Structure 1
Amino acid sequence: MADWLAALDRRAELRAKAGLTRTLRPRSAGDAVVDLAGNDYLGLSTHPDVTAAAVAAVRAYGLGATGSRLVRGSTDAHHALEDDLADWLGTDRALVFSSGYLANLGAVRALVQPRTLLVSDAHNHASLIDGCRISGAETVVTPHADVAAVRAALAAAPGRPAVVVTESVFSVDGDLAPLAELHAVTRGHGALLLVDDAHALGVTGPGGAGGVAAAGLAGEPDVIVTATLSKALGGAGGVVAGPAEFVRHLVETGRTFIFDTALPPAVAAGVRAAVGLARAGDDLRAELAERAGLAVRRLRAAGLTVSTPDAAVVSITAPGPETATTWAADCRDRGVAVGCFRPPSTPDSRSRLRLTLSAGVPRADFERALEVIVECAP
């Protein structure tokens, strides 16, 4: 009867030998580690305006939403946030989900109809990959950021409905997708473009409106935008934004929306305050850009292989998964938290450390963290 548990132990042993063990590490509220692993790009998660809005909403609504959005979970806080997000993103409407993961699952599935072809970038986030799989639609995975490959995939399926699925700023290496070129190809073939703006929202584009806005595509009727509210906005939840007809379709048919308990009203209120700060945060975005440039110069000067960041994600190549794990652990022992990406979380089987920069980290701490990363390098 316990054979299945023994089998799980054996699989855990194999992961350990491959350097793929994953461990939960709780942090305290007073954690003094320099955080280059979280996604609080603008430092808004602890901004007094954000926390005050959340506290006021807790007092008004209580801790949770108490139900799904279609039952009792929709509050004034949710609808106000959706209005602000739609205005910021330049779309007809926006719909808030309880997580960015569920937003992506719901968006991909809602775009699929009989015979739909999905064309997905090889470096897409797991939520987009799972959305394609769950949809049941035929999916063609194209080489990373390869517009010609996307064009060829669409040309090979004439007359079929199609959706091109991509991130704007990719979560692993922090590079920007060629969105304008992709849109020209999709429009030329009568296809739709779904863009996950998770790592761009608040960081790039006019007023921080994201990669889609930066590419001049805001409000285009054949573009759907998704994003998480847990990165530059410092909160939680996800959003799907686009034409009003599509948002209505999600409300009436989207299983990850209909059957999920709503985002807590306090989080919605806090995120709405963060949206206002992010839209006015050009100085924070300028600081992020300056830090990204500084990180690349210092790390490359030390002989490390570093990506060229288009936003606030900096990727450093590691020799292998075990080395990456040790490198990250050594940094943490010296008070610096960095991301550690290993297969199968990396689309190219290459291990790396990932730095997610934050304007909320004091400049002196950030520069010291770069020194620690270099000193701990294998």
Structure 2
Amino acid sequence: MAPRPRLLDRVNAARAERAAKGLLRTRRLIEAREGMRVKLDGRELVNFCSNDYLGLSQHLDVVSALQESAAWQGVGSGASALVSGYQFEHASLERECAEWMGYERGLYFGSGYLANLAVMQSLLEPGDVCVQDKLNHACLLDGARLAFCELKRYPHLDIEAAMRQLLSEREGAAMLATDGVFSMDGDLAPLRDLALLARSQDALFYVDDAHGIGVLGPQGRGSTAVAGLTAKEVPLLVLPLGKAFGGQGAMLLGSDALIGHIAETARPYLYTTAPAPAMAAAMRASLKLLRNESWRRAKLASLVARFRRGAVRAGLPIQESYTPIQPLVLGDNERALAASRGMEALGFLVGAIRPPTVPDGQARLRITISTLHSEQDVDALVAALARVCAPAPVTA
């Protein structure tokens, strides 16, 4: 009888393979941070790889709301939401987000990943189909896999391919799911066309607006607001709170019927401790700020435009993105890693993104811009990128 494979041998072989392909990942310890300045290995760097788009993670109102709530209510919620973990701050955040976005009801999760797993596990089953953009975030893909439905993926932004995939499966229920803003390319999904397609094919349309909410649209109501869509066209919408909100968790919005069903049946919601009430209080403070302080979005848009103008003048390989996500696709894994190291040597923290986060051959620097950056920060970044990412000279 052949010996059983050993898991440790498999782990070691897989790590060696990742090392050979330039795909090892390591955590970097941030020793301190103030605004967009971070201390790493004893050096101060300007951080251009944070998703804190509006600079709210360190805002005094947000920090004070968290501290005050924790002082009165403690840190943890103590139980799952359906036992005794659902508290005043949770309910208030759900109500305020639903009112802001024009939905009947909200449901607060500990993360966007959990929310996407919960939605699909609760609503879909074997025999159903979930049609998704190939560049959707991993948690949308994993949610469909958890539901054991058929997952069909269409080429990025290809409406006709999405229609063909919906038409190919007519036996079970259908969901059409997409990011609002794609996390690695920074471009927007064609939400109006997708909403029409979903309606014509009796598919539930579901949007994850992690990188659009707070940043785009009137009052920061995100990519669906930019597209002019309401709860009628987008029956389920998830708003992760770890980006522009500057905190943690995710708000799922929908009708009473849909949210009620998910709250009662979704395993990632039922069998986990409810988020800290203090974090919900902090996210209420963030919501107030991003609704009322439109100057943050105006400044952010101005910095993005300034970066793009400078990058074009410098001949940098930027993509068609007008959001705070500005990718520079370099192709080769080692080139992206070398560019990231070069930027660090010049005083900038910029992450190298490699497969499987992006497709093979599309390794890149993923630059993210925040309201906390200055015009001087952006100009210095462009100058450094021009030095580090300049194309190699052509030799005869």
Normalising to structure 2: TM-score of the pair? Answer: 0.91
| Of 210-219 and 107-116, the range deviating more from structure 2 | 107-116
In structure 1, the residue matched to 2:164 is 152
| Alignment partner of 2:237 out of 212, 225, 233 | 225
What per-residue deviation string (whole Å, max 9, x for no partner) do you get for residues 177-232 of structure 1? 00001101110111111100000000111110111122122221652101210000
In structure 2, the residue matched to 1:22 is 25
What per-residue deviation string (whole Å, max 9, x for no partner) do you get for residues 23-73 of structure 1? 011102242421211100000001111001011011011121122111222
In structure 2, the residue matched to 1:282 is 294
Q: How does 1:346-361 map to 2 (within 5 A)?
A: 346-347=358-359, 349-361=361-373
Matched to 1:50, the amino acid is V
What is the Cα deviation at residue 349 of structure 1?
4.2
3-state SS in 2 of match to 1:305 = coil
Matched to 2:243, the amino acid is K
Equivalent-residue separation in structure 1 for 2:234 and 2:187 (angstroms): 23
Equivalent-residue separation in structure 2 for 1:3 and 1:142 (angstroms): 37
Contact 1:34 1:366 survives alignment (8 Å): no
Contact 2:340 2:349 survives alignment (8 Å): yes
RMSD of equivalent CA atoms? 1.7
Equivalent-residue separation in structure 1 for 2:361 and 2:293 (angstroms): 36
Residue 5 of structure 1 pairs with residue 8 of structure 2: yes
Q: How does 1:1-378 map to 2 (within 5 A)?
A: 4-30=7-33, 31=38, 32-113=44-125, 115-158=127-170, 160-220=172-232, 223-347=235-359, 349-377=361-389
What is the Cα deviation at residue 367 of structure 1?
2.3
Change (3 A) 1:266 1:36: same
Equivalent-residue separation in structure 2 for 1:114 and 1:21 (angstroms): 35
Change (3 A) 1:47 1:7: same
Change (3 A) 1:122 1:267: same
Contact 1:193 1:222 survives alignment (8 Å): yes
Equivalent-residue separation in structure 2 for 1:109 and 1:310 (angstroms): 34
Contact 2:238 2:251 survives alignment (8 Å): yes
Contact 1:221 1:243 survives alignment (8 Å): no
What per-residue deviation string (whole Å, max 9, x for no partner) do you get for residues 302-335 of structure 1? 2221112132111101131111011112212322
Equivalent-residue separation in structure 1 for 2:60 and 2:336 (angstroms): 36
Change (3 A) 1:3 1:257: closer
3-state SS in 2 of match to 1:317 = strand
3-state SS in 1 of match to 2:331 = coil
Change (3 A) 1:92 1:347: farther
Structure showing greater Rg: 2
Contact 1:179 1:215 survives alignment (8 Å): yes
Equivalent-residue separation in structure 2 for 1:236 and 1:155 (angstroms): 38
Contact 1:78 1:265 survives alignment (8 Å): yes
Contact 1:164 1:186 survives alignment (8 Å): yes
Matched to 2:300, the amino acid is L
Change (3 A) 1:287 1:180: same
Equivalent-residue separation in structure 2 for 1:326 and 1:162 (angstroms): 44
Change (3 A) 1:190 1:6: closer
Contact 1:65 1:73 survives alignment (8 Å): yes
What is the Cα deviation at residue 3 of structure 1?
5.2
Matched to 2:94, the amino acid is E
Change (3 A) 1:222 1:277: closer
Normalising to structure 1: TM-score of the pair? Answer: 0.96
3-state SS in 2 of match to 1:155 = helix
| Of 51-60 and 317-326, the range deviating more from structure 2 | 317-326
Runs of 4+ in 1 over 3 A off after TM superposition: 1-4
Matched to 1:375, the amino acid is R
What per-residue deviation string (whole Å, max 9, x for no partner) do you get for residues 257-312 of structure 1? 11111111111111110011111232111112122222222223222211121321
Equivalent-residue separation in structure 2 for 1:322 and 1:156 (angstroms): 41
Equivalent-residue separation in structure 2 for 1:146 and 1:349 (angstroms): 21
3-state SS in 1 of match to 2:32 = coil
Matched to 2:75, the amino acid is L
Equivalent-residue separation in structure 1 for 2:52 and 2:148 (angstroms): 34
Structure 1 alignment gaps of length 5 or more: none
Contact 1:307 1:315 survives alignment (8 Å): yes
- Identity rate, percent: 36
Structure 2 alignment gaps of length 5 or more: 39-43, 391-396
Equivalent-residue separation in structure 1 for 2:79 and 2:170 (angstroms): 43
What is the Cα deviation at residue 159 of structure 1?
5.4
